[in-house]
Amino acid sequence: MKKNLLSLLALALLAAGCDKIDPDEYIVYDGAVITWRQGSAIANPQQRAYVEKFTGPQCHNCPDADVTLDEAHSLYGDKLVLVSINHYKGMGTPFPGEPDMRTDGGTVWDHFYGVNGIPAAFINREKDHTYGSAMPAIKTDIGTVVAQTPSVAMEVDATADATGSNVTVHVNLDFLTTIEEALTVTVALVEDSLRYKQLMPDGSVVNDYAHNHMLRKVITGFWGRDVEADAVAGTQTSGTLTFALPADCQKANCHIVAFLSRKASRHVINSASCTLQ
């Protein structure tokens, strides 16, 4: 009996004496606060596909992935919400003297998937479907996703103040079905037409390659803000947040991306994007 007690005590000490942090939680960002109020109904609800693509300036296959996703954009328009993230190591690192477009939020999301090679892409944060060397297949799967009936309709708009430095974002959610689990909304800033070196499939380097949909900042915490409303069919809620536009971002090239996720699994239910007004 005494031995058992001692063993239990030792096990308790072992268990309590060491915290384990998951890789996707190494970095925390409290982020901008979202204020929730009554939302409005959304006409013509759409199911969008949220795609996170991991890329890198020293990845010679990544320009081909860009071509594939550009084609997807042509096919599906704003039903495809795309965020490009420079991989946190290896081919994701910048050429010497070049701007480093890796972000802390991107690194945290990178760890969430456990990305090992790039290019890699994921639809709606479904880890089971990685599009790497078989990137062209993503076009078909995006089509399948956007053809579905949405359970939540989603809109986002963003307005900069007169100085252009402060941006207010409104996210409107219209619950078409009841979802009985905790939900979060994540808002991120992406930028088009960032020009820096890119390794090409033929081994050459293009000095002013246009990098589009690049993640610049996760405005909410990396895993978003809780939706403070019951996700009951027929209800609407609207969230508002304000953030300062980073000085090195060109307002005209910026977009806001917002997506609604299941808090536990982080799977994305729906998403939306908009330009800055």
Q: Which of 7, 8, 27, 265 binds another protein (CB under 8 A)?
A: 27
| 31 φψ region: left (φ > 0), alpha (ψ -120 to 50), beta (else) | left
Q: Which of 60, 94, 98, 104 binds another protein (CB under 8 A)?
A: 104
Q: Which of 23, 99, 164, 201 binds another protein (CB under 8 A)?
A: 23
Rounded to an integer, what distance in angstroms lies between the CA atom of residue 206 and that of residue 199?
A: 7
Q: Does 19 bind another protein (CB under 8 A)?
A: yes
Give the C-alpha distances (Å, rounded to integers) separating 93 from 90, 98, 99, 204: 6, 9, 10, 17
Cis amide bond preceding 136, omega within 30:
no
Rounded to an integer, what distance in angstroms lies between the CA atom of residue 162 and that of residue 47?
A: 33
Residues numbered 108 to 167 that lie near another protein (CB under 8 A) are: 111
Could you give the 3-state DSSP secondary structure of residue 30? Answer: coil
Could you give the 3-state DSSP secondary structure of residue 270? Answer: strand
Q: Which of these segments, 25-33, 128-136, 229-237, 264-272, binds another protein (CB under 8 A)? A: 25-33
Q: Does 18 bind another protein (CB under 8 A)?
A: yes
Q: Which of these segments, 38-46, 56-64, 104-112, 182-190, binds another protein (CB under 8 A)? A: 104-112
Q: Does 88 bind another protein (CB under 8 A)?
A: yes
Q: Which residues bind another protein (CB under 8 A)?
A: 10, 13-14, 16-21, 23, 25-31, 88-89, 104, 107, 111
